[in-house]
Chains A and B, each alone.
Chain A
């Protein structure tokens, strides 16, 4: 299995632009998580889906952030409009309920820089 795949790996954009981050979870996993990591705030859970349904989006910082999971093999995190304080590494992770234990498998992350 290729693991969790995120794209792009790096994104540099200007303030005000729309940013879309993409994630392909491990095949067969039914939970998907979006995290943001910064030096100041550490690893923050933004939102997670179970069976393609958003379960908890309490970590989404503002209305500028939105996430979708149209099917079991794809999810997007969108920031519109982007701001410099959104600069961070964004991780996607997936897990499987059927395997229990809730072990999460992380992608390599997308490093976002908003100028």
Chain B
């Protein structure tokens, strides 16, 4: 399987704390993307990092990419209850399609 693997599978933290999720993949990529899925909804694109970039920021999100280790991390700072969702990494390996990981279920406790 060429699917990415997220770590951890589930994460529960207190509101205000930072949440870090990791993603590993197996092949060379054009870019890596992170998506969020709220319960009962479709996935929503959050942020994209190209293969020649090492770090990207968007609001409270910070993404890093290490192509030598074939890994990425998503950091959500100052978490809020509304951040409770599942988070998926997806790799663009060419040919239009993305390969999604299994996801990390994040729960923010008030």
Contacts and interface: CB of A to CB of B under 8 A. Distances in A.
B48 A91 contact: no
Central interface residue in A50, A103, A108, by most chain B CB within 10 Å: A103
B interface, size bucket = 20 to 34
B43 A101 contact: no
Chain B contact surface mostly? strand
Interface in A73-115: 91, 93, 95, 97, 101-109
Nearest to A47: B97
A48 B97 contact: yes
Contact of A91 (B3, B33, B42, B96): B42
Contact of A43 (B30, B41, B88, B96): B88
A106 B90 CA distance: 14
Contacts of B103: 42-43
Interface of A: 4, 31, 33, 42-43, 45, 48, 50, 55-56, 91, 93, 95, 97, 101-109
B42 A107 contact: yes
Given A91-B42, A101-B31, A108-B41, A33 B100 contact: no
Given A102-B31, A102-B92, A103-B33, A56 B97 contact: yes
B98 A102 contact: yes
Interface of B: 3, 30-31, 33, 41-45, 48, 88, 90, 92, 95-100, 102-103
Given A43-B88, A45-B97, A97-B96, A104 B102 contact: no
A42 B104 CA distance: 11
